[in-house]
A and B are shown apart, each in its own frame.
Chain A
Amino acid sequence: MMGGYGDIKLLNDDGTRLDGRAVDEMRSVEIKAGVLPVADGSAWVKHGLNVAVAAVYGPMEAHPRKIQRQDRAVIDVRYNMAPFSTSDRIRPGFNRRSREISKVTAEALESVVLVERYPRSKIRVEIEILAAEAGTRCVGITAASVALADAGIPMRDMIVGVASGKIEGVVVLDLDKAEDNYGQADLPMGILPNTGEMAFLQMDGDLSIEEYNLACEYNYKAASEIHELMKQALLDSASRGDA
């Protein structure tokens, strides 16, 4: 839907957005780790109205054997939106969109997980979107990253999913549903907060170089805020184990 709808107003006259946020303001984020007792690691993330649960199992033997890699583990990601996650019921099961998101998420996670430690094995990551309001792939990546850390999988850094975009010619951080549907651009990123590297980048719509740089700046700022929440969730979970 990118490209803009001239008659839809996404910015108020005072420059704020329809939900009252400033252009560089993120939706509220809550993160919990270790929410599923049966999984090796798990996380629950609420980002605005998005709710995602991620579960990690493994490392385990990779099946079928043809997916095994002799020198490293494979990360098998399954991203799925629950049928009740949006107002229009989603037909259950894999579709083109979930396949694409599963693939890009797996590739992003492979860049942080020390996969060479577990040759021939598989790490299974299940991401279930329980409620969707734009930006679910970023929420899924954040949840998967916390769940992997909770499962004791060695990683060289965490990975944070964040997005910026453009509405009415203005670059804004963290698009909500209306902004995502009727805005001009969307720039989701997977950022490694400690090293500042980028593990994942997609762009929908057009941005000038200046706009792209500003969107990156917003994303990095948001990533460091979310990273603090991720760390706190993991430390709380570890402390709960102590209590």
Chain B
Amino acid sequence: MNSNDGGAELRLVVPGDQIDAPPGTQPGSGVCKRGDSLVATKLGELKIGGDVAHVVPTFTKYLPRSGDLVIGYVEAVMNNLWFLDVGGPFNALLPMSLAPWKVEFGAAREHMGYGDAVLARVMEVDETHSVVATMKGVGLRKIKEGVIFEMPPHLMGLVIGSKGRTLQRLKAASDCRIINTQNGRILIDGNSKGIAIARKALQMIEETGHAPGLHSRLNSILGDDE
């Protein structure tokens, strides 16, 4: 499966495949060095752009990175902190000092309980993948209304689209507020008709997003692009 994308070479590779790249090419994500040669470590599309070779995986789990906007669910409440499920290997820690409210010690449960959804930002990820999240920041809050759609994180690029056009179309056609986060959870807030349209479009992207003709399929759901 070879195709071209703006001069970058595209090819499907599996772990262990040797990558034919010009000398001096550096290993990017999904690629490692074996002796002098480069080797794919993930199943996905190989992209060689500039002097870096990387593999865009066909499937990957969310790995938190500092600065990521995420939607998390409260998994556990302690006296002075919450544990958030952000879809990664580990729960993120949200200390009461980083909550948007003045929280007394022992009163964390009064503000958020098990199952509550929050819009937060990953503040810190250490080398053992411990994650600290914060709710201090513009727009970060406890989610009280709307629908959360779960999308595999590696497909978020398709939801956003080139220069954000797909997301803009989705917002315009559904007349909903749509907040996409790096951990693949998308908050859709609006009237029920708009939410249904947005969900239908997102479901289509999830199932057949990689196939050619995404634009025309989106047109059939969202109406023609102006």
Q: Is the CB–CB distance between B32 and A156 below 8 Å?
A: yes
Docked complex Cα distance between A195 and B32 (Å): 14
Question: A144 interface residue, CB < 8 Å from B?
Answer: no
Q: With a CB–CB cut-off of 8 A, which chain A residues contact B44?
A: 152, 238
A243-B211 contact, Cβ under 8 Å, with A158-B14, A193-B16? yes
Chain B window 48-67, contacts with chain A (Cβ cutoff 8 Å), 1 for yes, 0 for no: 00000000011111000000
Q: With a CB–CB cut-off of 8 A, which chain B residues contact A25?
A: none
Contact partner of B210 (CB less than 8 A), chosen from A120, A193, A241, is: A241
User: Number of A residues whose C-beta is below 8 Å from B?
Assistant: 37
> Nearest chain B CB to A40's CB is how many angstroms away?
7
Q: Is the CB–CB distance between B211 and A242 below 8 Å?
A: yes
Comparing A53-61, A164-172, A204-212, the segment that makes contact with chain B is A53-61
Contact partner of A154 (CB less than 8 A), chosen from B1, B12, B15, B34, is: B15
Q: Is the CB–CB distance between B17 and A194 below 8 Å?
A: yes
Contact partner of A235 (CB less than 8 A), chosen from B14, B15, B91, is: B14
Question: B128 interface residue, CB < 8 Å from A?
Answer: yes
Q: Is the interface of B mostly helix, strand, loop or mixed?
A: loop
Docked complex Cα distance between A49 and B196 (Å): 47
Docked complex Cα distance between A169 and B21 (Å): 48
Q: Is the CB–CB distance between B32 and A152 below 8 Å?
A: no
Q: Is the CB–CB distance between A61 and B89 below 8 Å?
A: yes
Q: Is the CB–CB distance between B210 and A114 below 8 Å?
A: no
Question: B129 interface residue, CB < 8 Å from A?
Answer: yes
User: Number of B residues whose C-beta is below 8 Å from A?
Assistant: 30
Chain B window 24-50, contacts with chain A (Cβ cutoff 8 Å), 1 for yes, 0 for no: 000000101010000101111000000
> Nearest chain A CB to B115's CB is how many angstroms away?
19
Chain B residue nearest to A118 (CB atoms) is B89
> Nearest chain A CB to B123's CB is how many angstroms away?
19
Question: B127 interface residue, CB < 8 Å from A?
Answer: yes
Q: With a CB–CB cut-off of 8 A, which chain B residues contact A150?
A: 43, 59
Question: B80 interface residue, CB < 8 Å from A?
Answer: no
> Nearest chain A CB to B203's CB is how many angstroms away?
14
Docked complex Cα distance between A153 and B14 (Å): 11
> Nearest chain B CB to A223's CB is how many angstroms away?
12
Docked complex Cα distance between A175 and B203 (Å): 47
Q: Is the CB–CB distance between A59 and B16 below 8 Å?
A: no
Question: A119 interface residue, CB < 8 Å from B?
Answer: yes
Q: Is the CB–CB distance between B89 and A149 below 8 Å?
A: no
Q: With a CB–CB cut-off of 8 A, which chain A residues contact B210?
A: 241-242
Q: Is the CB–CB distance between B14 and A119 below 8 Å?
A: no
Q: With a CB–CB cut-off of 8 A, which chain B residues contact A149?
A: 14-15, 42-43
Contact partner of A61 (CB less than 8 A), chosen from B1, B61, B91, is: B91
Chain B window 90-108, contacts with chain A (Cβ cutoff 8 Å), 1 for yes, 0 for no: 1100000000000000000
> Nearest chain A CB to B125's CB is how many angstroms away?
11
Q: Is the CB–CB distance between B41 and A154 below 8 Å?
A: yes
> Nearest chain A CB to B150's CB is how many angstroms away?
13
A58-B128 contact, Cβ under 8 Å, with A192-B16, A231-B14? no
Q: Is the CB–CB distance between A152 and B42 below 8 Å?
A: yes
Question: B18 interface residue, CB < 8 Å from A?
Answer: yes
> Nearest chain B CB to A173's CB is how many angstroms away?
23
Docked complex Cα distance between A154 and B208 (Å): 25
Docked complex Cα distance between A89 and B169 (Å): 58
> Nearest chain A CB to B4's CB is how many angstroms away?
16
Binding site for A on B (CB under 8 A): 1, 12, 14-18, 30, 32, 34, 39, 41-44, 57-61, 89-91, 127-129, 154, 208, 210-211
The 6 A-B residue pairs whose C-beta atoms are closest, nearest first, are A157-B16, A155-B15, A154-B41, A152-B60, A121-B89, A194-B16
